[in-house]
Amino acid sequence: MSFYHCEKKFLRQRALLDIPKVRELEPHYSAMHLLFAWLVLGCSFCFGQAAPINDEDFVSYSGFQVWKIRTCSNEEDQFALQMIRHYKFEAWKNSDAIDAPIGVLIPPHFLEEMKRKLAAINITYEVEISDLQNAINDENPIINVSTITTKMAHNMDWTSYHRLDDIYGYLRYLADTYPNLVRLIDIGTSYEDRPLYVVRISNSPTADTQPAVWIDGGIHAREWISPALATYILHQLVEEPTNAGLLLNVDWYIMPVMNPDGYEYTHTKNRLWRKTRSKTSSKKCRGVDANRNFGYKWGGAGSSRDPCAIKFRGSNAFSEPETLATSNFITEKSKQIKLYLTLHSFGQVFLLPWGDSVAYPSDYDEMKALAKNAASKFKRYKYRVGNLAAVLYRASGNSADWAKSIGIDYSYTVELPAKDFILPSSRILPVSQDFFPALEVFAAKVATLNVT
Active site amino acids: 415
Please give the sequence-ordered ranges of beta strands (E in DSSP) within 293-382, or none if there are none: 337-345, 349-352
Nearer to ligand 0X9 (CB atom), residue 156 or residue 256: 256
Q: Does 292 bind Zn ion (CB under 5 A)?
A: no
**Binding partner of residue 401 among ligand 0X9, Zn ion, none, CB under 5 to 8 Å per kind?**
ligand 0X9
Minimum CB–partner distance for residue 83 and ligand 0X9 (Å) = 21
Whether 29 contacts 19, CB under 8 Å: no
Minimum CB–partner distance for residue 363 and ligand 0X9 (Å) = 16
119-151 b/e (C-beta count within 10 Å ≥ 16 → b): eebbbbbeebbebbeebbeebbeebeeebeeee
What sign does the dihedral 25-28-33-38 (CA atoms) show?
A: positive
Residue of 181, 184, 177 whose CA lies nearest to 205: 181
Whether 376 contacts 350, CB under 8 Å: no
Q: Which helix or strand (DSSP H or E) is residue 281 part of?
A: none
Cis peptide preceding 214, ω within 30 of 0: no
Nearer to ligand 0X9 (CB atom), residue 75 or residue 322: 322
Residue ranges in contact with ligand 0X9 by CB under 6 A: 220, 223, 291, 344, 351, 355, 388, 392, 395, 398, 400-401, 413, 415
Minimum CB–partner distance for residue 311 and Zn ion (Å) = 11
**Binding partner of residue 413 among ligand 0X9, Zn ion, none, CB under 5 to 8 Å per kind?**
ligand 0X9
Q: Does 275 bind Zn ion (CB under 5 A)?
A: no
Nearer to Zn ion (CB atom), residue 76 or residue 415: 415
CA angle 378, 381, 384 (to 5 degrees): 85
Minimum CB–partner distance for residue 336 and Zn ion (Å) = 26
Nearer to ligand 0X9 (CB atom), residue 114 or residue 341: 341
Write out the binding residues for Zn ion, residues 320-359 only, by CB under 5 A.
344
Q: Does 117 bind Zn ion (CB under 5 A)?
A: no
Q: Distance between CA 253 and CA 377 in Å, rounded?
A: 22
**Binding partner of residue 351 among ligand 0X9, Zn ion, none, CB under 5 to 8 Å per kind?**
ligand 0X9
Burial of 20 (0-12, 13-18, 19+ CB in 10 A): exposed
Minimum CB–partner distance for residue 415 and Zn ion (Å) = 7
Nearer to Zn ion (CB atom), residue 102 or residue 123: 102
Write out the binding residues for Zn ion, residues 197-236 only, by CB under 5 A.
220, 223
**Order of all β-strands in the sheet with 182-189:** 182-189, 195-201, 251-255, 212-216, 337-345, 410-416, 349-352, 384-387
Where do contacts with Zn ion occur on this chain (CB under 5 A)? 220, 223, 344
